[in-house]
C-alpha cells in the first residue's frame, strides 16, 4: 500500500487553528501524523487520539448535520425520508450510545469513535447541562423539519441537486483549498449554498468562509460571482440570513488566503515536502484564552 503523504493544503478551519495558536496547529497537522499506525511513537499516538476530541457543543452540531445530510441524500435520490420525529428519535438513540462510548473511554483504543473533550479532561458537567446540550440538538432538528427551507428542498427537481456535505476542493496558486458545503443546488441560472448553524450568534463575520464557497461555485459550476447565493440558517434561533458576494470581495478573499498560506509556510523547512520546523518553533498562543478548550493540553508545555 502506498504510504499517505502529508500534503500542504488550506482550509478556513486550518487558518483558524493557526491564528489561535501555532503550537496547536503543529499538533493538528504535523504532530498527529501517522498516529493511527500500530508502530507510532506513544506521543504521536496520544496527539492523534487528542485530535479526535470534540466538545459537547461540537458533538451536538455534528449530530444535527449528519441527520440533515442523510435526509437530504434521500430527497436527492427520490427516497421518501422518515417523518421528522422518527429521525429525531434515532438521533437521540445515537447520541446516547455515543455518550456512553466516550464516557467509557472506548476512543482510547478506537480513536475514530466519539471522543468528548469533557470526558478526556474529566470536566464536572452537571447532568442537566448534558441534557440541555442534547435537547438543543433535537430542537435544531425540529426547527429544520418544520421549516420552509425543508419544504423547498423537498420540492427540488432531482437534476437541480449539487452537493450535500461533500468534501471538495479548488486550487489557488497551486494550493488545494478545501470546502464542504452543507447543501447546494441550482436555482435557475444561480447556485444556492445553504449553511446550517446550531450554536453561534447569527451574523458573525463569515467573509472568508463564504468567499471560499463562492470561489468554489464560480470554478466548479461556472457561475458568475453574483449568482452564487448563500444563506445561513441558524437552527438554534430559527433565523435565516442571505448573503451575496462581489468580484471585488472575492479578490480580497484570495489575498487573505495567499497571506495565510505564506504565514504557514514560513514554519516549514521544506515547502515542497511540507516538512515543518521543530515543534518548539511553533509559538504558543500569546495568552491562555485559546487554551481554554484546546484539545492538546496534555502535550502542551503551558500545562506541564
**Predicted confidence (pLDDT) per residue in 60-85, tens digit:** 999 999 999 999 999 999 999 999 99
List the grid coordinates of 81.
Answer: 425520508
Question: Does residue 290 fall inside a structural domain?
Answer: no
Q: Domain residues for 169?
A: 157-258
What is the model's pLDDT at position 56?
97
The predicted structure's pLDDT at residue 1:
66
141 and 167 share a domain? Answer: no
pLDDT digits (tens, 9 = 90+) for 13-50: 999 999 999 999 999 999 999 999 999 999 999 999 99
pLDDT at 201 over 90: no
Which has the closest alpha carbon to 196: 244, 158, 155, 141?
141
Residue 197: CATH number of its domain: 3.90.320.10
State residue 42's pLDDT score: 97
Query: Based on the domain organization, do 172 and 254 belong to the same domain?
Result: yes
Q: What is the mean pLDDT of the chain?
A: 95
- Total of domains in the chain: 2
Length of the chain, in residues: 304
Q: Which pTM was predicted? A: 0.94
Can you read off the three cell numbers belonging to residue 151?
A: 419544504
Over residues 217-242, the mean pLDDT reads 94
Amino acid at each position: 500500500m502506498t504510504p499517505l503523504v502529508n500534503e500542504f493544503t488550506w482550509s478556513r478551519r486550518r487558518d483558524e487553528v493557526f491564528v489561535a495558536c501555532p503550537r496547536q496547529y503543529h499538533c493538528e497537522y504535523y504532530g498527529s501524523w501517522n498516529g493511527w499506525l500500530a508502530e507510532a511513537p506513544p506521543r504521536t499516538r496520544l496527539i492523534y487520539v487528542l485530535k479526535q476530541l470534540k466538545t459537547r457543543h461540537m458533538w451536538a452540531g455534528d449530530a444535527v448535520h449528519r441527520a440533515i445530510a442523510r435526509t437530504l441524500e434521500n430527497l436527492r435520490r427520490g427516497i421518501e425520508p422518515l417523518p421528522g420525529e422518527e429521525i429525531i428519535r434515532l438521533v437521540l438513540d445515537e447520541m446516547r450510545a455515543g455518550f456512553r462510548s466516550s464516557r467509557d473511554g472506548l476512543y482510547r483504543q478506537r480513536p475514530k469513535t466519539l471522543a468528548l473533550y469533557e470526558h478526556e479532561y474529566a470536566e464536572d458537567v452537571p447532568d442537566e447541562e448534558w441534557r440541555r446540550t442534547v435537547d438543543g440538538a433535537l430542537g435544531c432538528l425540529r426547527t429544520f423539519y418544520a421549516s420552509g427551507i425543508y419544504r423547498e428542498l423537498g420540492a427540488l427537481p432531482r437534476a437541480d441537486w449539487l452537493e450535500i456535505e461533500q468534501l471538495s476542493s479548488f486550487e489557488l496558486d497551486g494550493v488545494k483549498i478545501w470546502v464542504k458545503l452543507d447543501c447546494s443546488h441550482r436555482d435557475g441560472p444561480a447556485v444556492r449554498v445553504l449553511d446550517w448553524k446550531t450554536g453561534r450568534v447569527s451574523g458573525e463575520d463569515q467573509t472568508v468562509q463564504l468567499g471560499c464557497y463562492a470561489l468554489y461555485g464560480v470554478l466548479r459550476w461556472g457561475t458568475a460571482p453574483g449568482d452564487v447565493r448563500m444563506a445561513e440558517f441558524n437552527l438554534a434561533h430559527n433565523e435565516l440570513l442571505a448573503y451575496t458576494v462581489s468580484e471585488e470581495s472575492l479578490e480580497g478573499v484570495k489575498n487573505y488566503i495567499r497571506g495565510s498560506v505564506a504565514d504557514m509556510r514560513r514554519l516549514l523547512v521544506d515547502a515542497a515536502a511540507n516538512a515543518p520546523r521543530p515543534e518548539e518553533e511553533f509559538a504558543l498562543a500569546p495568552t491562555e484564552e485559546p487554551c481554554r478548550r484546546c484539545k492538546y493540553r496534555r502535550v502542551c508545555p503551558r500545562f506541564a
